[in-house]
Amino acid sequence: ALVSLRQLLDHAAEHDYGLPAFNINNMEQIRAIMLAADACDSPVILQASAGARKYTGEAFLRHMVEAAVETWPHIPVVLHQDHGASPAVCQRSIRSGFTSVMMDGSLGEDMKTPASFEYNVRVTRQVVEMAHPVGVSVEGELGCLGSLETGQAGEEDGSGAEGTLDHDQLLTDPDQAADFVAATGVDALAIAIGTSHGAYKFSRRPTGDILAIDRIRQIHARLPNTHLVMHGSSSVPQEWLDIIREHGGEIKETYGVPVEEIQKGIRYGVRKINIDTDIRLAMTGAVRRLLSQKPDEFDPRKFFAAALTAASDLCRDRFVAFGSAGQA
């Protein structure tokens, strides 16, 4: 059944686990996530970005998620809007049947310019006021995602802040977080701790100076009852990078957020962990490998099935590692 994010995260907090929130763009990704959840009995958060809605079309997205709920009626599913750029975007998603929306007021409506605290509070509060009366949850974000190594938002395809960010924009301030939650009434708060979107997060295996897990502990101490969200939390598996490179792909040396660091975050109050890139890497690696091993193959079902299996295995690993397996 479709449930709200608040329902799932309250249960996760009560039972000390975290939930991966996987980005969806097509049928194979939705089926991969659902098959993994069914196999290990985990609740599910499916999240769709503006780019996903553009790629898939609003009706296709809605009906595919309805099909998932119909196929696996015993699995609780949240349909969450990732990185809403404005209250109007959130309103459209609520009308479309999303049970949770993210108002990302850390950036202006262009999703590039860091916004003021006052702007962020205003737009986020506005979304809470329209979402809560209809049972929809709201995630806000305070602080800007970006690298503590370079000050850059990361993603090369343009999602995230433009230009160089200051150190204090890259780390959410615990006192300001407490003020933000009190002023907005959000159900969940995305925080900045040095992660960024996409495959190029860290130039080396991250240590505490570039991945500030301890900051989560400090924020949690101020906000023990707020569900914290980690964005940019793909682990960027070296195995998949190797497979992609072995089969003609070109991906530079890069490191993601180790699963063990996410597990520490979960101990400090992280309940939602956003993952998109890892599924992209696994699907790309599986397709490249299959097509290079079977150069005569031209039935798309063959390489889409390989991609689906790779994505599903990855999802199952995260459900188990974050402790949501067995909690559906």
Q: How many CB atoms lie within 10 A of CB 38?
A: 17
CA distance 234 to 102: 19
Q: Is 202 helix (H, G, I), strand (E, B) or coil?
A: strand
Measured from the CB atom, is 83 or 220 closer to ligand G3H? Answer: 83
User: How many CA atoms are closer than 13 Å to the CA of 145, on its beta-carbon side?
Assistant: 27
Measured from the CB atom, is 56 or 126 closer to ligand G3H? Answer: 56
- Applying CB under 6 A, among 233, 284, 324, 327 the residue interacting with ligand 13P is 233
Q: In this structure, are residues 178 and 203 in contact, taking their beta carbons and an 8 Å threshold?
A: no
Q: In this structure, are residues 107 and 169 in contact, taking their beta carbons and an 8 Å threshold?
A: no
Q: In this structure, are residues 290 and 303 in contact, taking their beta carbons and an 8 Å threshold?
A: yes
Q: How many CB atoms lie within 10 A of CB 135?
A: 13
Q: Least Å distance between CB 279 and ligand G3H?
A: 10
Q: Least Å distance between CB 94 and ligand G3H?
A: 19
Measured from the CB atom, is 34 or 111 closer to Zn ion? Answer: 111
**Stretch 195-214: interaction string toward ligand G3H, x if CB under 6 A:** --x-----------------
- Residue 82 designated active-site: yes
The verdict on whether residue 274 carries a ligand-binding annotation is yes
Beta-bridge mates of residue 78 = 45
- Applying CB under 6 A, among 33, 45, 76, 82 the residue interacting with ligand G3H is 82
Taking CB under 6 A as the rule, does residue 276 contact ligand G3H?
yes
* Residue 325, C-beta contacts closer than 8 angstroms, at least 6 positions apart: 40, 41, 42, 316, 319
Q: Least Å distance between CB 159 and Zn ion?
A: 8
Between the CA of residue 73 and those of 18, 70, 80, 159, 325, what are the distances in Å? Answer: 22, 5, 18, 34, 17
Q: Least Å distance between CB 270 and ligand G3H?
A: 17
CA distance 262 to 8: 18
Taking CB under 6 A as the rule, does residue 162 contact ligand G3H?
no
Choosing from 82, 173, 187, 317, the catalytic residue is: 82
Q: How many residues does the chain have?
A: 328
Among ligand 13P, ligand G3H, Zn ion, none, residue 51 binds (CB under 5-8 Å by kind):
ligand G3H
Measured from the CB atom, is 252 or 301 closer to ligand 13P? Answer: 252
The verdict on whether residue 275 carries a ligand-binding annotation is yes
Q: Least Å distance between CB 228 and ligand G3H?
A: 17
Q: Please give the annotated binding residues for Zn(2+), written as ranges.
A: 83, 104, 141, 197, 231
Q: Would you tell me which residues interact with ligand G3H (CB under 6 A)?
A: 23, 49, 51-52, 82-83, 159, 197, 276
Q: Which residues are catalytic?
A: 82
